[in-house]
Structure 1
Amino acid sequence: MKSVFTLLLLIGIIPHLSAQPVPATPQIVEVEGAKMNIMTAGFEHLRQGVPVVVFESGAGTSINNWRNVFTEVSKFAPVIAYDRGGIGESEWDGQPPGPDRVTDKLQALLNVLEAPPPYVLVGHSWGGHLIRHFSGRYPDKVAGLVYVDPTDFTQSRAEELAALTEIGVVDGETALEAMDQAYKFYTLKAPPAIKAEYAVFDSLAKLAPEERGLLPSPSVPVAVLLGARYRTPPPSPPGIEFGFEYRDYFEATIRQRVRKMSGWVTTAPEGFLVLSTQASHYVHQDDPALVVDAIERVVFPDIARQIREALANGGQELMTETYQKIKRSYPTDQLEEKLLNSLGYELLRERQVENAIVVFKLNNKEYPDSPNSYDSLADAYNAAERLEEAKQYYQRAVELAGEQGHERLETYRKKLERVTKQLEEQ
């Protein structure tokens, strides 16, 4: 875990030293007796049941870290960004900021703000480890995870060494020690709380992945965004030599991260990994539109999947309830007739005829003026050999198509003729 994080830290050149202002206005709230600097926006979206998006910054980085994406995300979801204790304008309580402590403090903040679950957590770098830790401790409160060039909390020592072996480094242990010394050099002037944070992940890095206290993550949508644009690190501190080309090592770690983190998304109910050659470690600053889009996709996950799951778990009643909830919270441009229509035909192809009928019925109810909604339901009844009902709905499709001058009128008529003939021959 540590060597790659060290690499990213060095390339970032200590981000907290160069923070810039954000357009939103921060405010101070008291959490467990300490002042915490936060920003909130977009809470009007709570009325529609949209999950709250919570930003978790990288090591030693303030809420300014999210300046390029915060306002854009607030246009479609409630958003919260905050400074961890001793970072930015938040007070430090003097306690080691281990993952348990940080996630408990975050939960306390969410309680103070009366921000209800579920949450979509967005974590950059070390923040990626922290949101993964939160999801394990509070699985019922998490709706999705967005990792922005995260620390690999699953990386083993053997994998650290493998990246160096790949580029021809013979003594990997010495090379890792050199990077460790370099990162300690560049953090000598960091404030006490930030040094304490570095000490936490330094201690975690010495542990095997299974010893890092991560509980099972909930089955939620996951996005992983990786930056592949190389940034030249600062010169090596006096007396420290890496013994390899930094760019070669960077490229080897990128390959390793893609292989490893692909597993994070393929085991999720919905997941995607994006490797951006336009962005460095700070993807959200170099390519903010990519991050905003990823967050939106996780906030509003695939509707067809949710309908399928509802059908499988609770039948028509749960499916209708799920769809109405989606209808209240999702942007209107994501709810089109073709969505349910396509799902219905997928179910027909899978020979789930009765489920297809249920979906087409909902589609017809939602779009009663559409000739196609009647035609599709008729197709499902036809597949179920319920010919009288098929004829009824083909007839209505023909009537509406005639009134509207619909381009598929003749297709509907031919279907009506066929099913009428079948009934006559019985």
Structure 2
Amino acid sequence: MAYKTSNLANRKAGEPILVFEAGLGGGTFDPILPLLPNHIASIQYERSGIGSSEPDSRIVTDSQVVARLHGLLQTLAIQPPYLLVGHSMGGPYIRLFAAQYPDEVCGLVFSDPTDFMLTEQEDEHAKVVSQSKTSYQQITKIIMEQMSKNKNSSAGAHIDAARALTSISKGYFHEYRKLPPLKKEIAATVIISYNKNIELPDEELDRKLNLGINFKAWWKEYDELRIQHYAALLKDNDHSMLVLLPKYSHGIYYQNPQLVAKLIQDNFNSYKKE
């Protein structure tokens, strides 16, 4: 698997290391790294089939994605504690990692995460109330389908989206339905953009596929649900916070890398104080 590390030589024994988990199709957290002090070590990696990582058809479930990351850390002899940073679809993955390896995780930072906690009943209700034809769960699947076939996307994005689509087709984040509560010693930082400006690609997709999304009302309903879900996720956790950013774009750490870097550093420092 392809990966790159930063400041490993500066890491002191027992200190956290940042483990970055990209969104659907991959991506980089490079805008953040120069803003972090050089004593904070980190690793970015590329999931199966993305970038220079070889595709592996055996990786089908999200649990296998998480296990592969854990195996990489073990192979590289990168010891815990891990402070995982997940963007978008990477948010659910780091939550699953914390469920499977709770004693190895000291912190989680969610950057505008996908709402994996949304139930079918909530999804249908929000669609109806917003007077829309397509729900959040439905659009999530559609985006995966589009990305897996889009000629303008990389081969790695095709593979990543196809794998995620296979998993979600068995039920919306079905692997997450019975996760144990988040271990309260894990500091959780959730950064959510809400009341987003409606972007041209969203409007074009809506028109092209006749999705019938009443965007402002639609986002209002699903934003409120996502905020409620993540607030409940971290309510019992020490050194945790929910940060709400009105009218920010989905790419929060591109729009304001200084803010995200500070929030990551705050989470890191909260462990050092223990």
Q: Smaller-chain TM-score range?
A: 0.7 to 0.9
Alpha-carbon distance in 1 for matches of 2:111, 2:88 = 6
Q: Show CA shifts across 1:177-216 (max 9, x none).
A: 57744652353135352222332234341749525xx344
Secondary structure at the counterpart of residue 236 of structure 1: helix
1:231–1:280 CA contact under 8 A, matched in 2? no
Alignment pair present for 1:217 and 2:186: no
- 1:38-117 paired onto structure 2 within 5 Å: 38-47=3-12, 49-62=14-27, 65-73=28-36, 75-117=38-80
Residue identity matched to 1:49: G
Partner of 1:199: 166
Residues 231-266 of structure 1, C-alpha deviations (whole Å, 9 max, x = no match): 411513776322232232123221221222111222
Q: In 2, are the aligned partners of 1:69 and 1:291 still within 8 Å (CA)?
A: yes
| Structure-to-structure mapping, 1:88-237, within 5 angstroms | 88-169=51-132, 177=138, 180-181=141-142, 184-189=145-150, 191=155, 192-194=158-160, 195-205=162-172, 207=174, 210=177, 214-219=179-184, 220-228=186-194, 229-232=196-199, 233-236=202-205
Residue 298, structure 1, aligned to residue 267, structure 2? yes
Q: Percent identity?
A: 24
Alignment of 1:260-339 (within 5 A): 260-277=229-246, 279-301=248-270, 306=274
Letter in 2 for 1:265: L
Structure 1, residues 84-111: CA drift from partner, whole Å, max 9, x if none?
A: 0101111112213322211211112112
Segments of 5+ residues of structure 1 without an aligned counterpart are 1-35, 307-426
Counterpart residue identity of residue 149, structure 2: L
Highest CA radius of gyration, 1 or 2?
Answer: 1
Aligned residues: 264
- 8 Å CA contact 1:84, 1:102 repeated in 2: yes
Task: Provide the rounded CA distance (Å) in 1 between the counterparts of 2:32 and 2:245.
Answer: 16
Q: Which amino acid aligns with 1:77?
A: I
- The letter for the 1-side match of 2:192 is L
Does the CA-based 8 Å contact 2:134-2:212 persist in structure 1? no
Do the aligned partners of 2:107 and 2:188 also contact (CA within 8 Å) in 1? yes
- 1:300/1:178 CA distance change after superposition, 3 Å: closer
TM-score (norm. length: structure 2): 0.85
4+ runs deviating over 4 angstroms: 175-183
Change (3 A) 1:142 1:266: same
Structure with the greater relative contact order (CA < 8 A, sep ≥ 6): 1 or 2? 2
Find the aligned partners of 1:182 and 1:93 in 2 and give their Cα distance: 22
Distance 2:134 2:208 in 1: 18
SS of residue matched to 2:244: strand
Residue pair 1:42, 1:74 contacting (<8 A) in 2 also? no
- The whole-number CA distance in structure 1 between the counterparts of 2:138 and 2:82 is 38
- Over aligned residues, Cα RMSD in angstroms? 2.6
Q: 1:318-397 alignment to 2 at 5 Å? A: none
How many Å apart are 1:38 and its aligned residue? 0.9
Cα distance change on mapping 1:181 and 1:258 into 2, 3 Å = closer
Q: Which of 189, 211, 219 is 1:250 aligned to?
A: 219
Q: Is the 8 A contact 1:118 1:142 kept in 2?
A: yes
- When normalised by structure 1's length, the TM-score is 0.56
Q: Give the letter for the 1:120 counterpart.
A: L
